[in-house]
Amino acid sequence: MDLDALTKHSAFHAKPDGLILQYGTAGFRTKAEHLDHVMFRMGLLAVLRSKQTKSTIGVMVTASHNPEEDNGVKLVDPLGEMLAPSWEEHATCLANAEDQNLQSVLMDISEKVAVNLHQDAFVVIGRDTRPSSEKLSQSVIDGVTVLGGQVHDYGLLTTPQLHYMVYCRNTSGQYGEATTEGYYEKLSKAFVELTGQAFCSGDDHRKLKVDCANGIGALKLGEMKPYFSQGLSVQLFNDGSGGKLNYFCGADFVKTHQKPPQGIEMKSSERCCSFDGDADRIVYYYQDVDGHFHLLDGDKIATLISSFLKELVLEIGESLNIGVVQTAYANGSSTRYLEEVVKVPVYCTKTGVKHLHHKAQEFDIGVYFEANGHGTVLFSKAAETKIKQLAKELEDKKSKAAKMLENVIDLFNQATGDAISDMLVIEAVLALKGLTIQQWDALYMDLPNRQLKVKVADRQVISTTDAERQAVKPPGLQEAINDLVKKYKLSRAFVRPSGTEDVVRVYAEADSQVSWDRAVEGKGRDRLTELEEGGSRREAILMVWQSLMSWRFMAFLGFITYFH
Ligand SMILES: CC(=O)N[C@H]1[C@@H](OP(=O)(O)O)O[C@H](CO)[C@@H](O)[C@@H]1O
Ligand SMILES: [Mg+2]
């Protein structure tokens, strides 16, 4: 380690006094102007991680759905997964070290993780379209090179594309070719082959409007379009040519406001979807003939995909186990539908993709989605081998199902949730099943729910257990929530400190048993009962909500400065 060079270069990336940041759910995220030193230091850390794992490590510069002025950085581990939790602590230590202590903190980490400093290091870098991203990624490069690591700068990439590149490079190209063309070709080939078997091929089925949040997704989907045009025609909106990143558009806006983004022309019953700013999240939606907006979020996506996979697995007649992983934010109706109708086991983990991903790896086929649209499906090596073998051996219906599964494996990004890949899977499933977006939406009816952020003096006063569904601190809080929710049918509520923002998140849902029974039994509902039911459903959720927001509850949270 050339310590003189390190001292010299770190002086160009000085840490602002008193700034403390935490490697959170999705790396570091804050205003772009505070991040230069963090970028440099993450370049350093990526070199250590690369030396330790003897593998290529990824660094992605993005702040996903945050406002354009923000930025962020996260490290990608060898198989394209999120940085190991034990290293998150090292990242936090290194980012917060005062300039004069940087060397010693770096040496400390090297010793703790037993890095062989003579080992080669290789780091790949990607960035989103934010105005600050290019300069910040240069600071990462500076950090890598000062420690003698080699760099490949991919420039503009979606977050999932960078994860894909890392995975490809560490499997010597077995997973795919580590270029954007390699990514486009692999996914498009699988998609075209899969949809080639679709019975219904009307034009309407092949059209999709995509809100790209004025982000990197527009650029990359635009490049990729010609590769799959025979299977699907996509029309891009919010492509970055005019509007601002994530501003009144994108998956996060649509999910949190439950309304369409600006900048998209939506006609009744047209199928539309939104990506977030770095294209790792997707939600679908449409407007019905009465002009009502319908959102199909990550839970609806998980349901559609799980049903499809379950059918294929039954058809090939192999005992491959399927598990679905959700978080506490999953709508109760989706969990119930998955367990009782699709008949797949459902597991709940803490918020954050790394937790879901980790759990999903326990199954032959692990489906995971956060309600906000972040997710994918993982196939175990054993399942993949079995499916590939069956696709070759069998003739008939079984082999057709095995071939479909083979393409599905290639179509899903096995490294992380990916808006482009998920979009192609969903489009393929809808085409193969001959489903309209309304029919998909009608699989189950969401329980009415509300989610809100509350700013408190210190969000860490709340700690949780049971996958964040129960508060253990402060004392008495959970009892107060229990008292409230037990008054309502199918009601559920929880609070937890956010891992990405300085807020506490509050979630509540409730319903009447009647509407669930109706939905499951598939009984037709005339307009009148629908309206009556709508009234009682709204009333139930409002009551839970108002109680949660009452002074009794707020008293537990300390000083509230705002909520919205
Ligand atoms: C309720 C919610 O949507 N939480 C989001 C949000 O995490 P919080 O820890 O809730 O701030 O950002 C994460 C990273 O993007 C994402 O994985 C997660 O789903
Ligand atoms: Mg994102």
For the segment 355-386, what is each residue's pLDDT rounded down to a tens digit? 999 999 999 999 999 999 999 999 999 999 99
Secondary structure (3-state) at 409: helix
Check if the beta carbon of residue 344 is closer than 8 Å to that of residue 338. Answer: yes
Largest CA distance in the chain: 77
Q: Which of 66, 83, 281, 351 to mutate to test the pocket of ligand 1 (most atoms within 8 A of CB)?
A: 351
Backbone angles phi, psi at 490, to 5 degrees: 45, 35
The complex's ipTM works out to 0.98
Residue 546 burial class via C-beta count within 10 angstroms: exposed 0-12, middle 13-18, buried 19 and up: exposed
Ligand 1, atom 3: closest residue by C-alpha: 372
Cis peptide bond prior to 474, omega within 30° of 0:
yes
**How far is the centre of ligand 2, averaged over its atoms, from the C-alpha of 540 (Å)?**
33
64 labelled catalytic:
yes
For the segment 28-50, what is each residue's pLDDT rounded down to a tens digit? 999 999 999 999 999 999 999 99
The whole model's pTM is what? 0.91
Residue 185 burial class via C-beta count within 10 angstroms: exposed 0-12, middle 13-18, buried 19 and up: middle
Tokens found for residue 251: 């998956």
What number does the ligand 1 atom closest to the CA of 255 have?
3
* pLDDT given at position 490: 85
Helix axes 133-146, 3-11, angle to 10 degrees: 160
63 alpha carbon, closest ligand: 2
**How far is the centre of ligand 1, averaged over its atoms, from the C-alpha of 353 (Å)?**
9
**How far is the centre of ligand 1, averaged over its atoms, from the C-alpha of 406 (Å)?**
31
Q: Which residues does residue 237 pair with via DSSP β-bridges, in sequence order?
A: 211
**How far is the centre of ligand 1, averaged over its atoms, from the C-alpha of 160 (Å)?**
17
Residues with CB under 6 A from ligand 1: 25-26, 64, 329, 351-353, 370, 372, 374, 498-501, 505
Q: What does the mean pLDDT of the chain come to?
A: 89
Ligand 1, atom 12: closest residue by C-alpha: 500
Single out the residue of 432, 448, 452 nearest to residue 440, CA to CA: 432
Q: How far is CA 488 from CA 277, 478, 514, in A?
A: 38, 16, 13
Residue 388 burial class via C-beta count within 10 angstroms: exposed 0-12, middle 13-18, buried 19 and up: middle
For residues 161 and 280, give the distance between their C-alpha atoms in angstroms, rounded to a whole number. Answer: 9
Q: Among positive and negative, which fits the CA dihedral 59, 110, 361, 152?
A: positive
pLDDT category of residue 564 using cuts at 50, 70 and 90: very low
Q: CA triplet 188, 64, 408: central angle to 5 degrees?
A: 25
pLDDT category of residue 162 using cuts at 50, 70 and 90: very high
Which chain residues have CB less than 5 Å from ligand 2, an ion? Answer: 64, 276, 278, 280
Tokens found for residue 342: 């699709």
For residues 483 and 487, give the distance between their C-alpha atoms in angstroms, rounded to a whole number. Answer: 7
Ligand 1, atom 13: closest residue by C-alpha: 352
Options 10, 50, 64, 274, the catalytic residue: 64
Ligand 1, atom 16: closest residue by C-alpha: 352
User: What residues have CB less than 8 Å from 12, skipping those under 6 apart?
Assistant: 40, 142
* pLDDT given at position 200: 56
What number does the ligand 1 atom closest to the CA of 329 have?
1
For the segment 313-332, what is each residue's pLDDT rounded down to a tens digit? 999 988 899 999 999 999 99
Ligand 1, atom 9: closest residue by C-alpha: 499
